Amino acid sequence: ATAVLPGTGPSAKSGAQEVVDIVIIGGGLAGLTAARDLKKAGCESFLVLEARDRVGGRTLNHDLGKGYFTEAGGQWIGPGQTAVADLARELGVGTFPAYWHGKASFIAGDSVARMESTGGFDTDRKLTGELEELSKLVPSGAPWKSPRAAELDSMTVGDWLAKKNVAPADQLGWATGVALSGGTSPARLSMLHWLSMVNSADSIYDRLEAVKGGAQETRISGGSQILSIKMAQALGDKVRLESPVLRIENWRDGPVAIHTPKGVIRARSVVVALSPPLCNQITFDPPLPAKRHEMQKRWPAFSPARKTAHVYKKAFWREKGLNGWIFQSKGPVMWAYDNSPEDGSFGVINAFVVNSWLPSDTKAAGKELSRIYAQALGEEALNPVAYYDHDWGQCDKWTLTCISAMPRNFLTTYGDALHPPAGRLIWSGTETADIWAGYMDGAVRSGHKAALQALQAINERRA
């Protein structure tokens, strides 16, 4: 077992202060994976501090009753995402394929076109080939180290596409793909960042974008938040909810003082399992190294993702040969898709929606979407039995950024400040992952890495 500070037990009180070896900040997939690894390694002296009254961070289940769920945040896993798949297996959580067979619906104004789905967005093969080749030059974990980093970071995906004369029929596919995976429009996403994402997917574009054979292929039984819920259950009172960290003192030499509204905890090492903008909400004394501070402050912290769910008595569209996918060229629906339970006992249409096209009032938004779904799937869509709506941008001080969409020149300016530990602080969270950064898999990978770093740091100091 790992040593604890002299004279302390697994979580000892010294005066009014608790003292532990390792504090983990953040009870998302990254923080909880790190905690689980510490426990597996025999370390008993650690705590997870989570700001909210729940675990899971950017994964969140809507409870549909009778053991069924649909997801408001991260939900799919796919080929190559072995860390999150292993975690599910170890926790006894099953997986099942996302539904995509049938015809997809494309709405342009009053007309609806239907096309047999191949399980992907069918973007132009020649162009994706070019993208794949370029991506081989951009290491996913450190894109700023690419031999062409400066050039590729100075352009947006939109700039690159503009030079390629994309056929009008293909433009929606590219824009939707970039918006869903990159979190913004092609005009706002750095080409270097986009290429690093393709690189993560073994430089196979469909592995990033598609449902069939891609990162949207597989769903998690019980909803993706179940992974965090199960990890937290096994960790018991090591996980402290409603404990936002507001201030961190003495991080350079330790013991580090970690301030929450419930008191101060002291630790030898701290795993900060938060995205950079969330780190920016914590006061550090002494201040962090200048470049790290600047990077956190400037990291894109807008959270445009809003996800909705319509629940129907049955998945009526399937009987009509439709797969439930809806794309709108102009309108609130970026992509609606069938998110019904594995047994198909009722129907769910989830959607990524564009805020500026939709009323902020939930009831009005649900009605507007039902109307659009009816246009694509039939009149039955007008009568959902339940509607859920989660706007991460409106309600989330503890998320701030759903999918980090890096603008031009950010990664080459600040990227090298993302990983290096600062004194006793070890940076974790999906943004720091070597592959699949931004994804649940990246979060799990970053948690494994942080646990190793923390154990190593404690052992080195003991030696």
Q: Note the residues at the interface with ligand FAD (CB under 6 A).
A: 25-31, 49-52, 57-59, 73-76, 244-245, 273-275, 278, 281-282, 305, 307, 392, 398-399, 402-403, 429-430, 438-441, 443
SS3 421: coil
Residue 44 assigned as binding residue: no
Taking the least distance from each CB to ligand FAD, the nearer of 378 and 393 is 393
Taking the least distance from each CB to ligand FAD, the nearer of 84 and 417 is 84
CB of 214 to ligand FAD, least distance (A): 11
CA 121 – CA 242 distance, rounded (Å) = 41
Residue 51 assigned as binding residue: yes
Do the bridges between strand 247-249 and strand 256-260 make them parallel or antiparallel, or are there none, so unpaired?
Answer: antiparallel
CB of 243 to ligand FAD, least distance (A): 6
CB of 306 to ligand FAD, least distance (A): 8
Cβ-contact 403, 177 below 8 angstroms: no
Cβ-contact 52, 398 below 8 angstroms: yes
Residue 198 assigned as binding residue: no
**CB atoms near residue 142 (< 10 Å):** 16
All residues at 6 or more sequence positions from 140 whose CB lies less than 8 Å from its CB, including other chains: 196, 197, 199, 200, 434, 435, 436, 437
Taking the least distance from each CB to ligand FAD, the nearer of 440 and 457 is 440
CA 53 to chain centre: 19
Taking the least distance from each CB to ligand FAD, the nearer of 216 and 375 is 216
Residue 71 assigned as binding residue: no
Taking the least distance from each CB to ligand FAD, the nearer of 381 and 443 is 443
Residue 50 assigned as binding residue: yes
| Tokens 């006894």 -> residue | 92
Sign of CA dihedral 61, 64, 69, 71: negative
SS3 350: strand
CB of 244 to ligand FAD, least distance (A): 4
CB of 119 to ligand FAD, least distance (A): 15
CA 292 – CA 290 distance, rounded (Å) = 6
CB of 58 to ligand FAD, least distance (A): 4
Taking the least distance from each CB to ligand FAD, the nearer of 208 and 273 is 273
Backbone angles phi, psi at 177, to 5 degrees: -60, -50
- DSSP letter at 430 equals G
All residues at 6 or more sequence positions from 454 whose CB lies less than 8 Å from its CB, including other chains: 22, 34, 38, 269, 271, 426
Return the closest-CA partner of residue 337 out of 297, 365, 377: 377
Cβ-contact 347, 316 below 8 angstroms: yes
E-strand ranges in 35-89 read 46-49, 61-65, 68-71
CB of 50 to ligand FAD, least distance (A): 5
Binding site: which residues? 50-51, 245, 352, 431
Binding site for substrate: which residues? 352
Binding site for FAD: which residues? 50-51, 245, 431
